[in-house]
Amino acid sequence: MAILADLKDPRIQDVTVTRVEMSPDMRHAKVHVSVMGNETKQKLSLAGLKSAAGFLQSKVAKRIDTRYTPRLEFVLDMGVKKSIQIAEILHRVLPPAPADEAGLSPEAQADGGDAVDDDVLGKQE
């Protein structure tokens, strides 16, 4: 929440914390973030987060009761971006879904999906 609410750095935009890895001694925290946008925007946001690390560490220190406050290290998480790229590639490579998966009735499938039920239109044979 501190990244969203308390940081006023204009470089830090569209940032989502995806996960945090803590060292066994709780002295270091690797904060994985996802940034929406192009590579330049991602680098700017990461630079802004790194410059705000001390401020964010002080916020963490106020919230947790431990002997040491973990040192925050921000790293770019490319998992979300890679999953979107994989989905786009699969969409281009795989054939379209069969009609039964699209939720069409068997009658509509037989007519190529263009059939309209006569009962719906009020027509009777």
Q: In which domain, by residue range, is 54 found?
A: 1-80
The number of folded domains in the chain is 1
3-state secondary structure of 51: helix
Q: Would residue 40 count as lying in a domain? A: yes
Q: Would residue 28 count as lying in a domain? A: yes
Task: Please report which residue ranges of the chain form alpha helices under DSSP H.
Answer: 2-5, 39-51, 53-63, 79-93, 106-110, 118-121
Question: Is this prediction's pTM over 0.75?
Answer: no
User: Using one digit for the tens of pLDDT, what is the confidence trace for 70-116?
Assistant: 999 999 998 888 888 899 999 989 887 775 555 555 555 555 544 44
Q: Would residue 105 count as lying in a domain? A: no
Q: Would residue 14 count as lying in a domain? A: yes
Q: Would residue 51 count as lying in a domain? A: yes
User: Using one digit for the tens of pLDDT, what is the confidence trace for 26-61?
Assistant: 999 999 999 988 899 999 999 999 999 999 999 999
Q: How confident is the model at residue 123 (pLDDT cuts 50, 70, 90)?
A: very low
Check residue 112 and report its DSSP letter.
T
CATH number at residue 13: 3.30.300.20
Cα separation, 120 vs 25, in Å, equals: 68
Q: Would residue 114 count as lying in a domain? A: no
Q: Would residue 90 count as lying in a domain? A: no
Cα separation, 8 vs 2, in Å, equals: 10
Task: Give the helix/strand (H/E) hosting 21.
Answer: strand 15-22
Q: Would residue 124 count as lying in a domain? A: no
Tokens of 12: 């830090």
* pLDDT at residue number 84: 85
